[in-house]
């Protein structure tokens, strides 16, 4: 019984660490996208993050912003 309880605590700690890592990746992606030089008030960029995969959504006034957003998302740590 004690071994099962110990394993449960270890797994709970691992899940918390995985969530913290995903949260830091999301924050880094967000930071990279907000630092794009031609991101303006007429653009809308959104993304979802799931286990190393980023899906970009939204629209951009200039087509170059789309390519810049893809490159910025790839630069973030935790993105495959």
What are the tens digits of pLDDT across the range 30-76? Answer: 999 999 999 999 999 999 999 889 999 999 999 899 999 999 999 99
Q: How far apart are CA 54 and CA 10, in angstroms?
A: 29
pLDDT band (50, 70, 90) for residue 19: low
Q: How many separate domains does the chain show? A: 1
User: What's the token pair of residue 43?
Assistant: 């653009």
Is residue 30 domain-resident? yes
Q: How many CA atoms lie within 13 A of 68 on its CB side?
A: 17
Q: What is the predicted pLDDT for the residue at 20? A: 53
Paired tokens of 1: 């019984």
* Range 52-58 contact pairs with CB under 8 angstroms and sequence separation of 24 or more: 52/78, 52/79, 52/80, 53/79, 53/80, 54/29, 54/79
- For residue 21, what are the domain limits? 2-75
Distance in angstroms (rounded) separating the CA atoms of residues 73 and 80: 10
Examine residue 80 and state whether it is found in any structural domain, yes or no: no
């Amino acid at each position: 019984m004690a071994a099962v309880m110990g394993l449960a605590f270890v797994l709970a700690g691992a899940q918390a660490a995985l969530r913290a890592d995903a949260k830091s990746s999301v924050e880094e992606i967000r930071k990279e996208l907000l630092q794009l030089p031609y991101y303006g008030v007429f653009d809308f960029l959104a993304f979802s993050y799931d286990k190393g995969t980023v899906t970009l959504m939204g629209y951009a006034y200039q087509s170059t912003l789309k390519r810049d957003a893809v490159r910025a998302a790839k630069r973030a740590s935790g993105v495959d």
